[in-house]
Amino acid sequence: MSPPPFGGVHPIVPTPFFDDGSLDLASVERLMDHLVMVGVDGVAILGFMGEAHKLTGAERRAVIEAAVQRVKGRMVVWVGVRSFGTAGTIEQVEEAESLGADAVFVAPILPGTPAVVERHYREVAAATRLPVAIHDYPAEFGVTIPADLIARLAKDGVTPYLKAEDPPVLVKQRRILELAPDEIGVFGGLGGAWLYEELVNGAAGVMTGLAFPEVLVDVVARYRAGDSGGAASAFDRALPLVRYEFQPGIGVGLRKHVYKSRGVFTSDAVRQPGQSVDTATLNEFEEVARRVGLDVATCGPTRS
């Protein structure tokens, strides 16, 4: 069996708002153009980092429409799906499909027992023609999905992708890839903090919110070209920035600050309830970026 076709860099992106908290669709369009320019393989909208849980149903639909229409097939568009039950999940998946999305990444539901999780994903997958990825993120969803269940669903063709965010991530990913080596595409997350090791272990790519996607593109391109040493060096150089950006509570604000600084977003507003980022932290963040050879305001490749 051939491996699932999607791979490479698929950034999880924030949802832009104006200063007053209203939805900024023009910035959604600029973001799509920016990511195409950087050279990513896809984009993942309406994930947890995208503040999807703070949007109305109409706003959610508007974001999907704006992203898909702007992309026009230039890269893969993933849509994040999360609901309290299977029926609501299916409704969101059907909406994403009707609006032209290419794939969905779907959160599990509580109580999160293996039987409940398995039934959930089988029913969701049966309701759509889109490829479905399991979003395995116990820290946010309160559900731990066993590796053997993830592998079984992949081998059955139910969920051919995994967004893997269950530490220790490399241990679980290796087990899943051992059980379903040709049936699942694993995408690392958690800020990209284990990207190089994930590639070495056989991951298909990365799906994370790092607001410097050129770093991810550079690491993956070097690794795919057989330059594992160059990929490791580029990855190691960026780690202080990855660590700083992926901070609970303020990570979304830091990422929006980058996109605003690059002229992609009009505002760096985080919709309430959310945490703004103080000036001292922003200055420190920018200094960390400079220390690893990057500029918050200018998109470019990492240094050789």
How open is the CA angle 55-140-145, to the nearest 5 degrees? 125
Dump strand ranges (E) for the chain: 8-9, 42-45, 76-81, 103-106, 132-136, 161-164, 185-188, 205-206
Rg (CA), the chain: 18
153-162 pLDDT tens trace: 999 999 999 9
Could you tell me which of 3, 4, 7 has the C-alpha nearest to residue 187? 7
82-126 pLDDT tens trace: 999 999 999 999 999 999 999 999 999 999 999 999 999 999 999
Per-residue confidence band for 273, with pLDDT thresholds at 50, 70 and 90: confident
| Residue 113: other Cβ atoms inside 10 A | 10
According to the model, what pLDDT value does residue 256 have?
A: 97
The architecture (CATH level 2) of 8-230 comes to Alpha-Beta Barrel (3.20)
By CB neighbour count within 10 A (0-12 exposed, 13-18 middle, 19+ buried), where does 278 fall?
A: exposed
Domain boundaries in the chain? 8-230
According to the model, what pLDDT value does residue 303 have?
A: 42
